[in-house]
Amino acid sequence: MTKFDPSLCQPHLKMFLGDEYPPSAIFLEYIAGLEMINLENYSQQRVDNVIDGIREIHKALVRHKDPKPRNMMVVVDIPERVVWLDFDRAETYDEDKITVEQQKLIEEEEVMVDECRIAMVGRGQRQQSWAGY
């Protein structure tokens, strides 16, 4: 299979029918107690795990392309678990063909996530982190 065909899963995946580029895969998981990371539920451990998560995503040569708190989730009852969501804009790169520019974009994305961490944890100021939501 070269591309996933969302027309085979109707009506559940109708939002994918009009996509210019069909998805390669769709991953769905129900996670109880999932909520967006915010100034009320963050901890240093959770934010560190968000950073570790994006690093692991990048090791797989995937660029998320929407690294905002609304796509960073925490599991209420499992303090160490964080989940990255919403990969509809993501780009994947081939290890043998990744360009210097693409590698730089991946590195810049990690900096963006770290800047969000600084705004949330380092300063704890709602107005500085709110723009990311």
Could you tell me which CATH class the domain 33-130 is placed in?
A: mainly alpha
Token reading at 122: 């380092």
More confident residue, 131 or 9: 9
Amino acid in position 89: R
pLDDT of 18? 85
pLDDT digits (tens, 9 = 90+) for 89-130: 899 999 999 999 999 999 999 999 988 877 776 555 554 544
The pLDDT value given to residue 133: 47
* pLDDT one-digit tens code per residue, 47-66: 899 999 999 999 999 999 99
Q: What share of the chain in percent tops pLDDT 90?
A: 50
Check residue 103 and give its pLDDT: 98
Mean pLDDT score, 6-10: 87
Closest CA to 10 of 18, 76, 118: 18
Task: Burial-class residue 52 by CB neighbours within 10 Å (0-12, 13-18, 19+).
Answer: exposed
Query: In the chain, where are the structural domains located?
Result: 1-30, 33-130
In which element (H, E) is residue 84 found?
Answer: strand 78-84
Confidence of residue 29 (pLDDT cuts 50, 70, 90): confident
pLDDT of 73 over the 80 cut:
yes
- Structural element, H or E, at residue 73: strand 72-75
Q: How far apart are CA 130 and CA 133, in angstroms?
A: 5
Q: Are 129 and 120 in contact (CB under 8 A)?
A: yes
